Amino acid sequence: MKKLVTTTNLQSKLYPEVSYKVRTLSEGRRQQVMASVADATYTMYELVGKANALLPVEGETLDSETQWKRTALIDQINEITSREIWPAWIRTYVVSIDGLDIDGTPATVDTFLSDAPTDLFAECVNLIKGQAELSPEEKKLSE
């Protein structure tokens, strides 16, 4: 009989007393998170297209106005990522956060999303992304 374990604990490197209980990545969860960010993803693709259209032709440089327009588009992309995409990943994959109190109360996923320091938030996202990457053995099997 095949037994599946659908959660794992990930330790914070920034704050060793903090750990995250996260769901393992599965096709169903991947589809769930992709559906929840579909509109944001579409908007991001539009913005990326607009930003890329402003890239200079080889041998040319961007004038300052075009550079500012491109920078504004990239800022919008980053804002969508941090405001919509990353929180969706955390809501989908993080079950609980241990070792973190916010205002004297154990952190929940919701309080983590609203009140966690930027460095801890980014680390959590990166840990989830790390779970999505193939190990060297998995890469060999997929070739």
pLDDT, averaged per 10 consecutive residues of the chain (143 residues), comes to 88 95 87 92 95 89 92 96 93 95 95 94 90 63 61
For residue 139, the model assigns a pLDDT of 57
Tell me if 43 is assigned to some domain: yes
The pLDDT of residue 141 is 62
pLDDT of residue 58: 86
pLDDT of residue 20: 95
The model's pTM is 0.80
Q: What is the pLDDT of residue 66?
A: 92
Q: CA geometry: angle at 47 spanning 120 and 70, to 5°?
A: 90
Per-residue confidence (pLDDT) for residue 62, from 0 to 100: 85
**72 within some domain:** yes
Whether residue 117 lies inside any domain: the answer is yes
In a domain, 122, yes or no: yes
The verdict on residue 136 lying in a domain is no
Distance CA 66, CA 111 (A): 39
Q: Which residue range(s) make up the domain with 49?
A: 7-131
**Looking at the domain assignment, is residue 143 inside a domain?**
no
Number of domains in the chain: 1
pLDDT for position 46: 96
The verdict on residue 88 lying in a domain is yes
**Mean pLDDT for the chain?**
90
